Amino acid sequence: MEHVTSLPELPVGEWARVDRVSAPPAMARRLMELGLIPGTRVCRVAVSPAGDPSAYLIRGAVIALRRRDAAGITLLPDGEEEEVWRPNNQ
């Protein structure tokens, strides 16, 4: 990833860091409870067959998020390389 993007735009298998979370208060609180706070590393590990939701690796847990819920999460590139677990060797 070469530029700032939002969480739903993150390619499968790529890592980034959370820059900012912009969401209504209740959703922002829920995302923070899931560990999506500035500086957190996140990787998109899978996309459902219908395209929504997607699964993300966040602080060691795989979390499914709908595109509309993840759209307000802005990312920054992450220079660290890491092998990622993906279901069914995607």
Summarize the confidence of residues 9-21 as an average pLDDT. 94
- Nearest CA-CA partner of 21 in 40, 38, 2: 38
The CATH number given to whatever domain includes residue 34 is: 2.30.30.90
Instruction: State yes or no: pLDDT of 12 exceeds 70.
Output: yes
pTM of the model: 0.81
Q: Is residue 87 part of a domain?
A: no
Residue 63 has a pLDDT of 95
Total count of domains within the chain: 1
Residue 39, number of CB atoms within 10 A of its CB: 8
Q: Residue 79: pLDDT band by 50, 70, 90 thresholds?
A: confident
CB within 8 Å of 2: residues ≥ 6 apart: 77
First to last CA, the chain: 19
